[in-house]
Amino acid sequence: MEEIGRRDFFGLLAKGLGGLISTLLAVPLGGYLLSPVLRKAGEGGWVSLGRADKFAPGRPVRVEYSYEREDGWMKTKVSRYAFILRRPDGLVAFSPVCTHLGCSVGWNEEQKNFHCPCHGGVYDPEGKVLAGPPPKPLTQFDTKVEEGKLFIRVA
């Protein structure tokens, strides 16, 4: 077995410690740099639409809301709206995005329907398709009421 000299020993020790310190620093730094990329883009959350008791039964009410969306390292303020309908069994929140090609629907108070201006899609107040090309009902948000406030889950 070959003996190593004191100078070689300290050289190896310095290299070993340098490698260990580099590894210890690289792991959290790599995690910090990669975490936004590995996180699902636009993971949503609950957004408050205000007091739940302000929604009277009868017709959907358009409500504006905004939230901050994270995509990688970018944060963007997103502004949207939803239609809230009070039914006997609780509040329902509809996305205004037409399920045909994504135009925004509007509420027609005279006909008591949602209308899509792009290709004539018509939905009833429950979001079900009545006419036109939309293949499925309006998307409903998950909802919850906490401390008297209505929340919808955004994507």
Please, are residues 68 and 46 in contact by the beta-carbon 8 Å criterion?
A: no
Instruction: Tell me the closest approach of the beta carbon of residue 66 to ligand FES, in angstroms.
Output: 24
Return the residue of 60, 96, 127, 134 that touches ligand FES, per CB under 6 A: 134
Question: Based on CB atoms, which residue is closest to ligand FES, 25 or 131?
Answer: 131
What are the phi and psi torsion angles at 32 (to 5°)? Answer: -65, -45
In the complex, least distance from residue 106 CB atom to ligand FES, rounded to whole angstroms = 11
Minimum distance from residue 116 beta carbon to ligand FES (Å): 3
Helix (H, G, I), strand (E, B) or coil at 140: strand
Among 63, 103, 124, 140, binds ligand FES (CB under 6 A): 103
Q: If you count DSSP H runs as helices and E runs as strands, how many of each does the chain have, helices first?
A: 1, 11
Token pair for residue 89? 């069994």
One-letter amino acid for residue 10 of the chain: F
Q: How far is the CB of 83 from ligand FES (least distance, A)?
A: 15
Q: Tell me: does residue 97 bind ligand FES (CB under 6 A).
A: no
Q: In 52-119, at which residue ranges do the beta strands (DSSP E only) sit? A: 61-71, 74-87, 90-94, 106-108, 113-115
Q: Determine the interface stretch with ligand FES among 12-20, 83-91, 111-119, 139-147 (rule: CB under 6 A).
A: 111-119
DSSP designation for 109: T
CA dihedral 149, 50, 61, 141 (to 10 degrees): -60
Task: Confirm or reject binding of residue 115 to ligand FES (CB under 6 A).
Answer: no
Q: Does 138 bind ligand FES (CB under 6 A)?
A: no
Site of interaction with ligand FES (CB under 6 A): 98, 100-101, 103, 116, 118-119, 121, 132-134
